[in-house]
């Protein structure tokens, strides 16, 4: 059988009212009463497939552009028709993922643009920032620590196989009797704190994640999982879409809102994003090539587990988080299963490390903003630790985990491998949580099998009983998915029994990035004030600085200031978050070209910029040298020493990256600014030039038209001349012109009245009226001579040429009928004026006149 022949076609969508779903009550019940489609009969109940969604949710969730949720990604986001891009079969074996290639890392610790706009809290959704209910949060804090387990039933077009009761506490789920394997076995009740239905993500976030996010901000490690079969709604719950932002975007908003409302503390946030695929960890934020060649390793044990090499990015704004997520999501891979369903085959873990500490008591640090008494419980141990000479830093980790689909392996070889790994890690996760719970509950110290999977090993610090955990189990309510849903519910029941004892960690941690940055800022400030003192004291000492020295001095101070600013921006406080509101302008660039500057001034600017770059290059070199000069550990050194060294080195690398970022800013940003300015100026010039050209073209066309008109006129007149010549010829041949004598001006031939003359006059009349019509001239007066009319034409005419030396011509025309007649006196009066007939005939046709 070919691979294709095994594929199952997508299920046709047949909207109709749901007759069967029996949700007893609940705020979201409406969402469950959705039209359904028929279950495909060709799928056996053992087959897993992505069930069609209700038409309502399908249409409602159109993805829009813009910020507001975790962005839809090529790999993870699924359209409502279930289509997902396929993952190459062997994605990590040296081949470069097109997703990875397309997502070159731009923002990391080193790339955080300190000038970048921070959170615009005007835009923070009211439902997220304004509704942090302190009473609710405090009551959560007061509760016994336990894993919060919730069930989310996704809407479906098919009749539900489950009866849901949400009116009672705990809420229950029960399989309908007709779907039980054996009719004799009574169906089991599954009880949970929360059973959520419908497509609204906000109530889900509030019920299952908000208190955990706040706990993380308050110093507890917190982990939020989504667990369930493929297409049951894990990604929808965690990431959501533009209309329904999921837990991750809502959590990030809450994080910044929390900082805004905590004026007594300062924060440093860094995040990482990894994927576990076939038991290999991939850094989704690493530059594509390094990610392929260098899978992330887990080192250390216990609470000291570290991932290396792992890229952690300092984030200072929602936009920054969004960018990180977007890049990471783009790098996630999915694979299609052999029943033609596309599903995610990897686990993704988004981690936010939150470092925070009390703000100092210097004038600079004293907060002036609004405080929320009691909102944040006082930090235990803080004052004690401070009294010992250091400031305690609280570090916590918020992990948001989208697990792979929980169904079993299939026939395809690669997929089987994936399935095995996925199930290994999911099973290990379950048993780790159970053991942790049992140990905590019964005071036992049983071995916890963290090492059995990468997922659990990586999460060991968070899961070691020292984290608040919320698990959202997503299920597909269709009858065809009963087996998977039951297995998911059993998993959920198991975790529910676990109890945890999460503790805050607040220590004088000199390794904390926040502490290191603070220290560096203090040192830089000290150096700066020393320099200022030196400079101010210099004239008093009678020391005069050369121009060059002055420039150097001011550059050094600029550098110090820039670094202080850069580091300060990375540390978030309720004030800085507000201060940055709406500052969306391009960072002021020293090289923003002022075209009015003299070349000398420009050269000076350039020189100064080069010096700054040089200084920073030296800084990088010295940091690199310091890194290299670090003591090497002997190969047999204990693991803990190795881990410590690695952690230190990872931190130094982060610092190096920040300096590099400053270097890039000085080099890259100004160049970009110069280019932009020059391009702008030249584009204006180009535009003007194009406009001018267009005007000229219009003129040119107009002239061509005029010339054409002129040419036509000339042709017409030429016709007229020829007609006249023919007429006179005929006139003469008829002998009407009298005896032929040699042409003499003294004896011009006398036209015979009547006949030709009348014909001539008639012709002239009609020609003239034609001309009149063409040029819209007033009708010819009866008495006017047609010969004179030519003079009134605007266009030059042969008829208008001079007719000289005809004083002696005596032509007497009699009036024939109504035709106008030229009298001898009339003609005589026209001496020196134009006579077309005579002119044409004598000069051009050589006709004797």
H-helix or E-strand spanning residue 575: helix 574-579
Q: Which is nearer to ligand ATP, 55 or 103 (CB)?
A: 55
- Residue 755, Ramachandran bin (φ over 0: left; ψ between -120 and 50: alpha; else beta): left
Please report how close the Cβ of residue 608 comes to ligand ATP at its closest, in angstroms: 54
Contact yes or no for 319/67 (Cβ under 8 A): yes
Please report how close the Cβ of residue 455 comes to ligand ATP at its closest, in angstroms: 15
- 3-state secondary structure (DSSP) of residue 72: coil
Please report how close the Cβ of residue 253 comes to ligand ATP at its closest, in angstroms: 20
Please report how close the Cβ of residue 38 comes to ligand ATP at its closest, in angstroms: 18
Contact yes or no for 103/327 (Cβ under 8 A): yes
Q: Of 99, 225, 227, 236, which one interacts with ligand ATP (CB under 6 A)?
A: 236
Q: Which is nearer to ligand ATP, 53 or 429 (CB)?
A: 53
**Binding map of ligand ATP across residues 447-476, x = CB under 6 A, - = no contact:** ---------------------------x--
Annotated ligand binding at 228? The verdict is: yes
Cβ partners under 8 Å of residue 314, min gap 6? 109, 112, 268, 269, 270, 513, 570, 654
Q: Is 80 in the site for ligand ATP (CB under 6 A)?
A: yes
Alpha carbon distance 70, 253 (integer Å): 12
Q: Is 97 in the site for ligand ATP (CB under 6 A)?
A: no
Contact window for ligand ATP (CB under 6 A) among 229-237, 305-313, 452-460, 617-625: 229-237
DSSP-assigned states of every residue in 217-239: HTT-EEEEEEEESTTSSHHHHHT
Q: Is 155 in the site for ligand ATP (CB under 6 A)?
A: yes
Q: Of 288, 320, 328, 405, which one interacts with ligand ATP (CB under 6 A)?
A: 405
Contact window for ligand ATP (CB under 6 A) among 16-24, 97-105, 227-235, 819-827: 227-235
Round to the nearest angstrom and report the end-to-end CA distance of the chain.
109
Q: Is 354 in the site for ligand ATP (CB under 6 A)?
A: no
Token output for 62: 């159109």
Q: Of 100, 149, 224, 231, which one interacts with ligand ATP (CB under 6 A)?
A: 231
Contact yes or no for 163/174 (Cβ under 8 A): yes
Q: Is 232 in the site for ligand ATP (CB under 6 A)?
A: yes
Name the residue with the smallest CB distance to ligand ATP. Answer: 233
Contact window for ligand ATP (CB under 6 A) among 232-240, 294-302, 387-395, 708-716: 232-240
Restricted to residues 161-200, the positions that interact with ligand ATP (CB under 6 A) are 199
Annotated ligand binding at 608? The verdict is: no
Contact yes or no for 239/69 (Cβ under 8 A): yes
Please report how close the Cβ of residue 152 comes to ligand ATP at its closest, in angstroms: 6
Please report how close the Cβ of residue 56 comes to ligand ATP at its closest, in angstroms: 8
Annotated ligand binding at 231? The verdict is: yes
Q: Of 234, 260, 332, 457, which one interacts with ligand ATP (CB under 6 A)?
A: 234
Alpha carbon distance 360, 363 (integer Å): 9
Please report how close the Cβ of residue 48 comes to ligand ATP at its closest, in angstroms: 10
- 3-state secondary structure (DSSP) of residue 831: coil
Contact window for ligand ATP (CB under 6 A) among 3-11, 125-133, 140-148, 223-231: 223-231
Q: Which is nearer to ligand ATP, 343 or 574 (CB)?
A: 343
Alpha carbon distance 578, 623 (integer Å): 34
Token output for 571: 């540390």
Contact window for ligand ATP (CB under 6 A) among 230-238, 312-320, 656-664, 827-835: 230-238
Please report how close the Cβ of residue 405 comes to ligand ATP at its closest, in angstroms: 3
**Binding map of ligand ATP across residues 42-61, x = CB under 6 A, - = no contact:** -----------x---x---x
Alpha carbon distance 725, 848 (integer Å): 11
Token output for 751: 């036209």
Token output for 482: 């009963």
Contact yes or no for 353/395 (Cβ under 8 A): yes
Contact window for ligand ATP (CB under 6 A) among 134-142, 224-232, 490-498, 613-621: 224-232
Annotated ligand binding at 794? The verdict is: no
Q: Which is nearer to ligand ATP, 334 or 797 (CB)?
A: 334
Please report how close the Cβ of residue 478 comes to ligand ATP at its closest, in angstroms: 12
Q: Which is nearer to ligand ATP, 75 or 316 (CB)?
A: 75
Contact yes or no for 809/748 (Cβ under 8 A): yes
With CA atoms as reference, report the closest residue to 63 among 47, 85, 78, 49. Answer: 78
Alpha carbon distance 35, 19 (integer Å): 9
Q: What is the dihedral of CA 515, 519, 521, 523, to 10 degrees?
A: 180
Token output for 684: 């204006």
Please report how close the Cβ of residue 327 comes to ligand ATP at its closest, in angstroms: 19
Q: Which is nearer to ligand ATP, 8 or 441 (CB)?
A: 8
Number of Cβ within 10 Å of residue 236's Cβ equals 24
Q: Which is nearer to ligand ATP, 155 or 219 (CB)?
A: 155
Q: Of 71, 233, 330, 786, which one interacts with ligand ATP (CB under 6 A)?
A: 233
Contact yes or no for 260/74 (Cβ under 8 A): no
Token output for 174: 């029960």
Contact yes or no for 753/813 (Cβ under 8 A): yes
- 3-state secondary structure (DSSP) of residue 481: helix
Q: Which is nearer to ligand ATP, 172 or 343 (CB)?
A: 343
Alpha carbon distance 336, 239 (integer Å): 20
Alpha carbon distance 732, 738 (integer Å): 8
Contact window for ligand ATP (CB under 6 A) among 8-16, 225-233, 347-355, 574-582: 225-233
Annotated ligand binding at 233? The verdict is: yes
Rg (CA), the chain: 46
Q: Which is nearer to ligand ATP, 274 or 404 (CB)?
A: 404
Annotated ligand binding at 428? The verdict is: no
Q: Which is nearer to ligand ATP, 406 or 566 (CB)?
A: 406
Burial class from Cβ neighbours inside 10 Å (0-12, 13-18, 19+) for residue 227 reads buried
Evaluate the CA torsion angle 537, 541, 544, 548 in order and state its sign: negative
- 3-state secondary structure (DSSP) of residue 29: helix
Q: Is 205 in the site for ligand ATP (CB under 6 A)?
A: no
Count of chain residues binding ligand ATP (CB under 6 A): 21
Q: Is 78 in the site for ligand ATP (CB under 6 A)?
A: yes
Restricted to residues 328-347, the positions that interact with ligand ATP (CB under 6 A) are 343-344
Helices first, then strands: H and E counts in the chain:
25, 19
As annotated, the binding site includes 228-235
As annotated, the binding site for ATP includes 228-235
Residues lying near ligand ATP in the complex (CB under 6 A) are found at 53, 57, 61, 78, 80, 154-155, 199, 228, 230-236, 343-344, 404-405, 474
């Amino acid at each position: 059988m070919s691979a294709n022949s095994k594929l199952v076609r997508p299920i046709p969508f047949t909207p109709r009212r749901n007759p069967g779903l029996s949700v007893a009550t609940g705020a979201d019940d409406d969402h469950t009463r959705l039209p359904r489609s028929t279950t495909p009969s060709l799928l056996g109940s053992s087959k897993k497939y992505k069930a069609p969604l209700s038409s309502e949710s399908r249409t409602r969730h159109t993805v829009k552009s813009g910020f507001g949720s975790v962005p839809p990604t090529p790999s993870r986001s699924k359209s409502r028709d279930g289509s997902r891009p396929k993952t190459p079969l062997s994605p990590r074996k040296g081949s470069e993922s097109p997703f990875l290639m397309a997502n070159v890392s731009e923002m990391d610790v080193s790339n955080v643009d300190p000038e970048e706009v921070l959170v615009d809290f005007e835009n923070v959704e009211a439902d997220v920032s304004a509704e942090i209910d302190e009473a609710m949060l405090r009551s959560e804090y007061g509760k016994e620590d336990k894993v919060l387990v919730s069930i989310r039933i996704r809407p479906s077009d098919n009749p539900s196989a489950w009866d849901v009761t949400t009116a009672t506490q705990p809420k229950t789920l029960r399989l309908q009797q007709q779907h039980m394997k054996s009719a004799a076995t009574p169906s089991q009740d599954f009880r949970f704190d929360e059973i959520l239905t419908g497509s609204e993500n906000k109530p889900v976030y509030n019920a299952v994640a908000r208190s955990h996010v706040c706990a993380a901000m308050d110093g507890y490690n917190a982990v939020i999982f989504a667990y369930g079969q493929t297409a049951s709604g894990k990604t929808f719950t965690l990431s959501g879409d533009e209309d329904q932002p999921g837990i991750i975007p809502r959590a990030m908003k809450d994080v910044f809102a929390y900082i805004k409302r905590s004026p007594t503390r300062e924060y440093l946030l860094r995040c990482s994003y990894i994927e576990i695929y076939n038991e290999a960890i991939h850094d989704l934020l690493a530059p594509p090539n390094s990610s392929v060649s260098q899978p992330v390793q887990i080192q250390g044990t216990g609470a000291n587990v570290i991932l290396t090499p792992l890229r952690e990015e300092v984030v200072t704004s929602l936009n920054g988080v969004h960018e990180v997520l977007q890049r990471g999501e783009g790098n996630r891979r999915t694979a299609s299963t052999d029943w033609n369903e596309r599903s995610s085959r990897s686990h993704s873990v988004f981690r936010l490390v939150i470092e925070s500490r009390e703000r100092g008591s210097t004038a600079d640090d004293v907060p002036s903003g609004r405080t929320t008494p009691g909102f944040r419980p006082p930090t235990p141990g803080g004052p004690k630790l401070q009294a010992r000479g250091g400031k305690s830093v609280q570090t916590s980790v918020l992990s948001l985990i989208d697990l792979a689909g929980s169904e079993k392996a299939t026939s395809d070889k690669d997929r089987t491998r994936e399935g095995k790994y996925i199930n290994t890690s999911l099973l290990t996760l379950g048993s780790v949580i159970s053991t942790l719970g049992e140990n905590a509950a019964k005071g036992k110290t049983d071995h916890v099998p963290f090492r059995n999977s990468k997922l659990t090993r990586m999460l060991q610090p968070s899961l070691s009983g020292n984290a608040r955990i919320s698990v959202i189990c997503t299920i597909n309510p269709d009858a065809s998915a009963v087996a998977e849903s039951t297995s998911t519910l059993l998993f959920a029941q198991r975790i529910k029994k676990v109890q945890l004892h999460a503790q805050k960690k607040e220590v004088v941690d000199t390794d904390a990035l926040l502490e290191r940055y603070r220290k560096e800022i203090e040192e830089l400030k000290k150096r700066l004030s020393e320099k200022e003192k030196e400079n101010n004291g210099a004239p008093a000492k009678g020391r005069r600085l050369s121009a060059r020295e002055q420039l150097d001095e001011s550059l050094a101070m600029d550098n110090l200031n820039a670094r202080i600013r850069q580091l300060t921006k990375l540390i978030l406080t309720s004030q800085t978050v507000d201060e940055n509101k709406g500052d969306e302008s391009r960072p002021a660039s020293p090289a923003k070209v002022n075209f009015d500057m003299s070349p000398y001034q420009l050269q000076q600017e350039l020189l100064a910029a080069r010096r700054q770059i040089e200084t920073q290059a030296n800084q990088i070199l010295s940091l690199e040298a310091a890194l290299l000069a670090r003591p090497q550990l002997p190969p047999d050194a204990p693991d803990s020493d190795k881990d410590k060294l690695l952690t230190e080195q990872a931190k130094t690398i982060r610092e190096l990256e920040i300096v590099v970022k400053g270097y890039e800013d000085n080099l890259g940003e100004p160049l970009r600014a110069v280019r932009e300015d020059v391009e702008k100026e030249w584009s204006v010039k180009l535009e003007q030039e194009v406009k001018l050209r267009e005007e000229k073209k219009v003129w040119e066309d107009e002239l061509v038209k005029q010339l054409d008109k002129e040419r036509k006129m000339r042709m017409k007149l030429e016709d007229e001349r020829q007609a006249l010549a023919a007429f006179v010829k005929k006139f003469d041949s008829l002998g009407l012109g009298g005896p032929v004598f040699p042409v003499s001006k003294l004896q011009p031939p006398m036209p015979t009245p009547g006949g030709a003359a009348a014909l001539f006059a008639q012709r002239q009349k009609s020609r003239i009226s034609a001309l009149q019509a063409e040029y819209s001239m007033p009708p010819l007066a009866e008495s006017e001579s047609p010969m004179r009319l030519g003079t009134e034409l605007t266009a030059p005419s042969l008829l208008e040429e001079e007719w000289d030396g005809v004083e002696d011509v005596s032509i007497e025309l009699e009036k024939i009928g109504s035709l106008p007649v030229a009298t001898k006196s009339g003609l005589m009066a026209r001496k020196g004026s134009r006579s077309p007939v005579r002119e044409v005939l004598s000069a051009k046709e050589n006709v004797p006149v």
